[in-house]
Amino acid sequence: MSKATIIDGKAVAARVTDSVAEATQAFVSETGITPCLAVVIVGEDPASAVYVRNKGRMAEKVGFRSLRQTLPADTPETDLIALIQEWNADPSINAILVQLPLPDHIDDSKIIELIAPEKDVDGFHPVNVGRLGAGRFGNALIPCTPAGCVLLAKSALGDDLTGLNVVIVGRSNIVGKPAAQLFLKEHCTVTIAHSRTKDLAAVIGGADIIVAAVGRPKMIEGSWLKQGATVIDVGINRIPAPEKGEGKTRLVGDVDFDAASDIAGAITPVPGGVGPMTIAMLMANTLTATRRQHGLADIAIAPK
């Protein structure tokens, strides 16, 4: 029995960012305007700091102006609100991203709702959520991770996903729910499952595509999969790795990768699967937002 094809998220993401860079160069030549992505991080969470640095580097690589503001962990909520309002009003800033999570004394929802919907490149503002839910894809900004999941599925199965059964394990506003909307757009039959689904194994067993986004290491067993299924593993879980030495850890997904690889037709690794796509789709969203703000139509940003 052959092993599953490994879906190389880094390679697909590189094709997306190459496409964004090419389109950005054309946009700058046409308008004289350089798209600007502004990111704010509150506190010094190491993982968040790494994400923010990576986003800034990629923004500059594709030809954007990158603006980063790091605020102390004890920054008053009013100061963050003032910064968001300042960025909303600045026409030279096209895309705003608030790195989550925020410290406990700041209300995440309040801050997200303050971001101008047309600059909300995370796609978390209720206006963008509503547009996505209503199928108004032409004026919504789409959450980056779910958008990346769809492209990874297409990289394995081709552009036409019509009629395939998709099971999304996880019902978060960040991944599960928007992923369902995006796969419905592709004419798939979509089921949202979660940690409390009865007989989860049976539900997953009927899926042509599984999107695992529940946040539990190796929760989905390889034996649950249908032969030849495509697995998109969004989970990033750190577990002990004593084989590497005392106190060492390693990253695993929500799917038991080794067991699943014997049954799946294609599978994303962790790391190196969905993660790179999230930043790539953020770049695509930034260009889309900038074009819309200047009255220009969307263009297709997809791997070649």
Of 45, 74, 85, 99, the catalytic one is 99
Note whether 30-117 and 144-276 share their fold.
yes
Tokens 């199928």 belong to residue: 135
pTM equals 0.95
Rounded to an integer, what distance in angstroms lies between the CA atom of residue 144 and that of residue 242? 34
CB 218 within 8 A of CB 254: yes
The pair of three-digit structure tokens given for residue 113, joined into one six-digit string: 């709702």
- Amino acid at position 175, single letter: V
Active site residue 61: no
Of 79, 107, 110, 122, the catalytic one is 122
Torsion sign (Cα): 181, 124, 267, 152: positive
What's the pLDDT tens digit per position in 157-175? 999 999 999 999 999 999 9
Active site residue 55: yes
What's the pLDDT tens digit per position in 261-282? 999 999 999 999 999 999 999 9
Active site residue 159: no
Give start and end residues of each alpha helix (H) in 37-143: 46-61, 77-89, 108-114, 126-133
| CATH class entry, domain 144-276 | alpha beta
The pair of three-digit structure tokens given for residue 85, joined into one six-digit string: 């309002």
The pLDDT value given to residue 2 = 65
What's the pLDDT tens digit per position in 122-155? 999 999 999 999 999 999 999 999 999 999 999 9
- Amino acid at position 159, single letter: D
**Which three-class secondary structure state does DSSP give residue 251?**
strand
| CATH class entry, domain 30-117 | alpha beta
Rounded to an integer, what distance in angstroms lies between the CA atom of residue 114 and that of residue 82? 10
Domain ranges of the chain: 30-117, 144-276
